[in-house]
Chain A
């Protein structure tokens, strides 16, 4: 964790005109929660939000987040698509969305998924930060058992890691696209998870997904499926992108298909990040061209 935070500071120090670091809150164990802001100026521009590592065991996501940060810094002038996105929009990137989980997974249990809070006097720690949002909170598709990997917590936004993002998004008021990154199983998903009712923009989101997945596959032939959360993986209530649903909300499930699962070898980080970047660009470019 210190290394990642140090790298973030380095990016800011070397690119002060593009990158800044914001502290949006503190975790249960009092670790600062940082977001990188990539901006070419302006005031409160429409923005894209990307988070990685909300589930700490999904290692390839935090690693990809670091790669994205570097990519934006390196290509913000010479890549036409990225440059034109940054001309109109800011990008917010939260790399370690669950810092307590990250440290616990690194030091104690590499399969740790949740936060590290303790509720209800339980011997089990942690709330699933992707079931703690105020969208269908507490419904089926989450668990009321603190020992479960999908424990939704005592109430919506009980987790400071989640509340920090909620407060940030509400205060900003101008986030137009929201992308949450997970692993594994190679999927691109859009809302809803908590209900089978399709989102009003289902057709548009489905078309964007199709284009994004095609762009992703063009690099290494990696096979992704796409669809709404509830039809493609399972019913999930209190999920991030159901709450943030402001039209362009997507979740990625990165490599692989289960051969290594969470324990993806480092050699796959860069190809994963590269191919996902292409898909992300499709989403961001669409948002840029359809600002609402």
Chain B
């Protein structure tokens, strides 16, 4: 059974947030972050014995340049029953994304030539500021958190990256850059702020890979 969903209602907006996170993971880099700007039409199909499939028309914006937007159609399938399977997401982008090869390469070269491994905290800071040299570090986390969000989402969750608490570069002898991130994810349905650790591999030609991720315990005294 298929039905149209009001885009202002939360089932559609949760699926849209998940789809946007997935697109960000697949298309994100040190030079590119994508965020959900708007949700147009939405529909849902309940497939017996399989799960709920959402059809979405999204508008995504470039995090670095809000005027740059791209239309996206996506399908999200939440599997019935077993909560350990990540939802299936497929998407198509209309048109081309801005080429970020140069920005990616500049960041890559900069990090490769550092004498000491990069370490940073609190991005953005508590006033929402991101120093310009940390923007690529933030965009990589943005893309990698898209993976974590995708892997851990259900119809009853809506995750958003809230902050990078800490990032440490991991020394590597091969061509990849590796970062160990401790991030805070805001889960909007429970309103919880969840610390999450993730290991991220990146190279300009190879996209973002999350090799390891784990939810961390919250400190009750905070």
Chain A residues within CB distance 8 Å of chain B: 108-113, 123-124, 128, 147-150, 185, 187, 223, 225-227, 231-234, 257-266, 268
Contacts and interface: CB of A to CB of B under 8 A. Distances in A.
A265 B220 contact: no
A113 B191 contact: yes
Interface in B1-34: 6-10, 13, 17
A185 B218 CA distance: 24
A252 to B, nearest CB: 15
Contact of A261 (B6, B186, B220, B221): B186
Chain A binding site: helix, strand, loop or mixed by DSSP? Answer: loop
A263 B127 contact: yes
B190 A148 contact: yes
A257 B17 CA distance: 10
28 contacts: A108-B222, A113-B191, A124-B220, A148-B190, A148-B192, A223-B37, A225-B7, A226-B8, A227-B6, A227-B8, A227-B9, A233-B188, A257-B36, A258-B17, A258-B35, A258-B161, A259-B35, A259-B63, A260-B124, A260-B128, A261-B162, A261-B186, A262-B162, A263-B126, A263-B163, A265-B124, A265-B129, A268-B128
Contacts of B13: 225, 232
A75 to B, nearest CB: 28
Given A150-B191, A185-B188, A264-B128, A111 B162 contact: yes
B40 to A, nearest CB: 11
Given A113-B191, A227-B8, A258-B36, A263 B162 contact: yes
Interface string B82-104: 00000000000000000000000
A98 to B, nearest CB: 14
Contacts of A110: 126
Contacts of B127: 263, 265-266
Given A110-B126, A185-B188, A265-B129, A258 B222 contact: no
Contacts of B162: 111, 261-263
A266 to B, nearest CB: 6
Of B6, B128, B161, most A-chain CB atoms within 10 Å: B128
A123 B221 contact: yes
B189 interface: yes
B17 A150 contact: no
Nearest to B222: A109
Contacts of A148: 190, 192
A234 B128 contact: no
A261 B160 contact: yes
B193 interface: yes
B42 to A, nearest CB: 12
B2 to A, nearest CB: 20
A232 B186 contact: no
Contact of A231 (B9, B17, B160, B184): B9
Interface in B117-167: 124-129, 160-163
A108 B221 CA distance: 11
Contacts of B36: 257-258
B128 A225 contact: no
A113 B13 CA distance: 23
B177 interface: no
B128 A266 contact: yes
A123 B36 CA distance: 38
